[in-house]
A and B are shown apart, each in its own frame.
Chain A
Amino acid sequence: MSTRTRPRAHPDDDTTTYREALREGLREALASDDRVFLMGEDVGRYGGCFGVSLGLLEEFGPDRVRDTPLSESAFVGAGIGAALAGMRPVVEIMTVNFSLLALDQILNNAATLRHMSGGQLGVPLVIRMTTGAGRQLAAQHSHSLEGWYAHIPGLRVLAPATIDDARHVLSAALDDPDPVLLFEHGSLYNAAGTLDPAVQQVDLDRAAVRREGTDVTVVAYGGCVSKALEAAEELAGEGISAEVVDLRTLRPLDDATFVGSVRRTHRAVVVDEGWRSGSLSAEIESRICEQAFFELDAPVERVCSAEVPIPYARRLEEAALPQPAGIAAAARRVVS
């Protein structure tokens, strides 16, 4: 993986942004399967509120890149209905905060219909949305609620953290016979790197070890992976070797990879941009304790968002979120 995080893509070099990688995945899906269509608020003429679908309307027309009214429940539910009828809809919700207006459809229909119908009705639907903070958008545009969705049986929850994952996540999601939620961290869209042309697909069922290490395992996902890598770099300077595991899939969790890593390092730090109380980080810590308690040399540490609605002011927002310094500090505590 040759991704480097940079503020902007340079149009004249061979780097690709996370945004462009997602768009390339969408373009490929639309071009290769008639059943695929994209729908959501401003995905067409506007080009997607984060610019992911820019240009796709011109390429594929308004039937397949479909602007919807501001009706999260209706268009997510319509995606479910179309999936029931054999289509492969990709629905974009601007941010996870607004997905709550469609939560009924996602939980009570998409996740549930297969079971309630005794296996007769699958919902092969992909829902994309932004998550996370870091852009001073204040509370109603900044929350990280993917852990809530990871609570729900019947859903698959993915959080691509790298350019390659962003490029290939959609084909993996569309292959799934069940509803898949894709969480795109808002601060990653401009992240740029070089796509590895040798990679034609990614195994999103497996967590990925992004950096190998021997002293402590740092488990992270989505927008926190690069922060964990930054912390690992800082720790390396102090002679602490941190292994960084990127979960990629928040449901179902790939316990084997992160528990396996902890068995080697005997120490763990879990990073989660969600709030600590009742969070995904709690689940991960619990699984580590259930499966590798006697291999642990120290209690597991967690680095989460402060228990506060994400504030606007830059200094406060930074203080509310997991940061490399906090991750490094937690790692130092567990290795000491």
Chain B
Amino acid sequence: MATAHGGTSAGTSQTKRPRRAHGPATPSRTPAAAHDLDLLRRMLLIRRFEERCVELYSAATIRGFVHLYIGEEAVAVGVHQALDEADAVVSTYREHGHALARGIPPEAVMAEMYGRTTGCSHGRGGSMHLFDADRRFYGGNAIVGGGLPLAAGLALADRLRGEPRVTCCFFGDGAFAEGEFHETANLAALWGLPVLFVCENNLYAMGTALAREHAQTDLAMRAASYGMAAWAVDGMDVHAVEKATRGAVESVRAGNGPHFLEMRTYRFRAHSMYDPDRYRPKGEIEEWKRHDPVTGLADGMRAAGLLDAAALEDLEHQVAEEIDHAVRAAERAPEEPAEDLLLHVTGRHEEARA
């Protein structure tokens, strides 16, 4: 845990993204309280969505590689507080949390897991390849490090057109060892590109612990060697993530080139649904669960008198309904017809069919 609770000021509680109305009365209606409740709702949505994915996977309803984000929710939610709609996001195969935080509707994400035509990638992508062009969500990349160069290019396009936008890319501590990270970091810093590198250091690349994959485990320090601002953040604390990201995004937008945030976080579940999880020391998961970002925020709010049992129950209820709705919609959604197999291979085929 690198930093203490970052805290949040009333000024940071206004996000540009339209919000859904909250039904239940909250014990306190100050902007800060409403903001915290919103953070909690977003993190809960991701947590419960993925717990439902576990059930659906166990029932063999959804298949493929499914990588859960449980434990890391504070990163996606905190980072997205600092991003605008016009910014771009590049993600990985562990991207349910990023996609939901970006505002891709749970129905579209769930339908994609079902391989349905209403899925956000029309059933071509599945869990690992969620896309939403309108929301500038550029995947969903299952090659470790493979999305990073794209982020440099998206940012380069913004730079060439004078657009004050930021491209945020998520990747893991494993990806940090790939040449693509180092090539991209060098390129982005060399050209002063508006890229925010968000490294989700959850201490493992599949079964390989940080110290067994990196000669020097201080990732922020190594990123800084490229000449960009870089620091480590307590990734289990959504307020700390939000605060750090706001600072970094502001600086990127002001033209100070790329920034790097090492989010120190942890995944509570196995690497993927296939993983027997034999490589972590006993008790380590339990130890980290004491820093659970979701219950941590809820507990903090309760202690500050911002949340009571009834309000939390209401929130859980809303989230459960949203997910139920997504599952029902996915179940009813049509499958892509096999005649459409060759669609979306090239743009010219599509023109020919249209």
Contacts and interface: CB of A to CB of B under 8 A. Distances in A.
A118 B143 contact: no
A208 B23 CA distance: 68
B153 interface: yes
A77 to B, nearest CB: 2
Q: Which 7 A-B pairs have the closest CB atoms?
A: A81-B153, A77-B149, A118-B122, A177-B347, A74-B183, A85-B157, A78-B153
Given A69-B186, A74-B187, A177-B346, 9 more contacts: A69-B183, A71-B187, A75-B187, A77-B150, A78-B187, A109-B147, A117-B124, A117-B131, A156-B346
Contacts of B158: 85
A121 B133 contact: yes
A324 interface: no
Nearest to B122: A118
13 contacts: A71-B183, A74-B180, A75-B187, A77-B149, A78-B153, A81-B90, A108-B146, A117-B121, A117-B133, A117-B139, A118-B125, A177-B347, A178-B348
A104 B125 contact: no
B146 A154 contact: no
Contacts of A77: 146, 148-150, 152-153, 180, 184
B142 to A, nearest CB: 8
Given A115-B345, A121-B131, A84 B152 contact: no
A298 B125 CA distance: 46
Contacts of A78: 149-150, 152-153, 156, 184, 187
A178 B347 contact: yes
Contacts of A137: none
A69 B154 contact: no
Interface of A: 37, 63, 68-69, 71, 73-87, 89, 104-105, 108-109, 113-122, 153-154, 156, 176-178
Contacts of B131: 113, 116-118, 120-121
A121 B90 CA distance: 13
Contacts of A79: 153
Contacts of A89: 153
B12 to A, nearest CB: 28
B16 to A, nearest CB: 20
B124 to A, nearest CB: 5
A162 B155 CA distance: 37
